[in-house]
Structure 1
Amino acid sequence: MRSTEPGVFESSDYYLYTPSTQAVKTFFYPVCTGYFRYAPGYCLKRNSYDSFLIMYIKKGCCTVKLDSQTYTAGAGQIVVLDCYKPHSYYTNTGWETLWLHFDGPVAREYFQMITADTGPVLNLKDDYKFDKYLSKIYQLFRENASIKEALVSQYITNVLTALLVSRESHAGGTVQSEVIEETTAYMSEHMTEPLTLEQLAARASLSPYYFTRLFKKETGFTPHEYLIAIRINAAKFLLKNVPATSIKEVCFRTGFSNESSFCTTFKKWVGSTPSEYRQSS
């Protein structure tokens, strides 16, 4: 479809999509996508447009306003917006952008992770995969191709993953992420041992307070919660896949100190006792 919006050149095009009910419940899905060429002086203000927006600036420069904050994005940069909230963007010089409005059950979680440290304007050191899959989505609609929702969802996931990896490699982020990745790997390998916060923090060369804060930020768990989660997942595997293993043996093979504590913790996390979980389909 050709745009008739004031300030958008006629050579611009866009495509709307109505997802199936299954896609809305299960997948990332496109709402609309396009390639726009904006004239100097273009301005858009919206209270809301129920979706999230990715704009890949190809040429020129645009300014984005969110609440009381102003951000500028130029060629090669990416703008990611929560369009459920009031927002505006404009240009004094004109700009070209490949864009995608999308949504999905975990779209907000991805958006929050991607923009947590950088704000809405991002830089990619290597934009190959990001550009490849964002362009694939646009080309599917431009060529009037058959839309396979699971495949388009995968393309959107690839786009978001490229942005998320960029966020994690933002200044200082890589070292912190590597520290936590090494710690979680160590915890998985040594889950039967009585690991303490002090031990784990010392391995990471961090104070227990800062280590806990960083661990929570990177994983969503405290170190103790993560250790319990590892042990519970290991117990679930043994209960379902090694039926000859007794509950008591599962308890000790997954690092719990006694059977009573194991059963109580398992029910709290899983919602059923180990025996009930083993017997469930």
Structure 2
Amino acid sequence: MFSCEPLVAPGSRYYNYAAGALARSSLLCLQCIGLFTYLPGYQLTRRSYDSFLLEVILDGELEGESDGRPFRAVRGNAVLLDCYRPHHYASATGWQALWLHFDGPGARGYYDWITRSGGPVLAPENFEELHRSLAGLFQQFDNGPIPGEGQMAREIAGALGLLLDPPETPPGSGGLDRVLRTINENLHRELSVQQLAEQAHFSEYHFIRLFRSQVGTTPRQYIITARMERARHLLKTTDLPLETISEQVGYTSDSVFCTQFKRRYGVTPTEYRQT
């Protein structure tokens, strides 16, 4: 369909898609995809629009606000907006973009992860690959036949996957990958936050702040979760006695391990193994 929106250039076109009930409950779903040239002076303000928006900026520039946070995007940027929240964007000079409205059970998780390091604007090193990914999906609507819902979900997930670890992350945050590996490889040992901070070359205070912002929890809480998940796996897949499992996940006291396990899962390790 050709756009009849004011200050959208002639020839700009888009396609709507209504996913079935099963796809909506299970998959990432395309709602609308378009290739627009926005003319100087274009602006849009919405309190809410039930979707997430991924926009690849092909030319020009725009400025906006998403949930109270200002942003500016230029050619080579990608913009990911939570349209459930108030948002606004406009341009005095105009811009061209390939865009996609999508939603689904995992959509917010992708959004939260991709935007965790800052605002909605990203500068992906793989911009051309991202452009090709969305352009390929758009061309399928342009030329037919329309892809199946499973294929659309894969294409959307593929495009978002290119943004999962944007290059512009806070200085030193790459060290967290090494810390996470250290934790998961040494759950049987005592792991102090101070030691982990030294490995990442940060003060303990700054390390805890960075860890929480990037991982979503404190280092100590993450260690406990990792230990409990390892314990659940061992309880279900081995016949190891509780004492051995307790030692393998870093607890020198069986009673402390059992108390911690029940506090988290509502059952004792023995009860969990029997279910």
Q: How many residues align?
A: 275
3-state SS in 2 of match to 1:164: coil
1:76 matched residue in structure 2: 76
1:170 matched residue in structure 2: 168
Structure 2: state its 5+ residue gaps. Answer: none
Whether the 8 Å CA contact 1:129–1:158 is kept in 2: the answer is no
Aligned residue identity for 1:63: E
1:188 matched residue in structure 2: 184
Alignment RMSD, CA only?
A: 2.3
2:219 matched residue in structure 1: 223
CA distance in 2 between counterparts of 1:149 and 1:106 reads 15
Structure 1: state its 5+ residue gaps. Answer: none
CA distance in 1 between counterparts of 2:209 and 2:70 reads 30
Give the 5 Å matches for 1:1-281.
1-66=1-66, 70-166=70-166, 169-170=167-168, 172-173=170-171, 175-176=172-173, 178-243=174-239, 245-280=240-275
3-state SS in 1 of match to 2:182: helix
Length-normalised TM-score, structure 2: 0.89
Q: Report Cα offsets for 1:227-267 as digits up to 9, x if no partner.
A: 22222122122211113x22222222222112111111112
3-state SS in 2 of match to 1:165: coil
Cα distance, 1:236–1:115 mapped onto 2, change above 3 Å: closer
Whether the 8 Å CA contact 2:117–2:169 is kept in 1: the answer is no
Identity of aligned residues (%): 37
Q: Report Cα offsets for 1:20-78 as digits up to 9, x if no partner.
A: 22222222211100111223333333222111112212123333244666543332222
Once structures 1 and 2 are overlaid, which stretch shifts more, 80-89 or 183-192?
80-89
CA distance in 2 between counterparts of 1:273 and 1:62 reads 56
Aligned-residue offset at 1:146: 4.1
Cα distance, 1:151–1:94 mapped onto 2, change above 3 Å: same
Aligned residue identity for 2:147: I
Aligned residue identity for 1:249: T
Whether the 8 Å CA contact 2:117–2:170 is kept in 1: the answer is no
Length-normalised TM-score, structure 1: 0.87
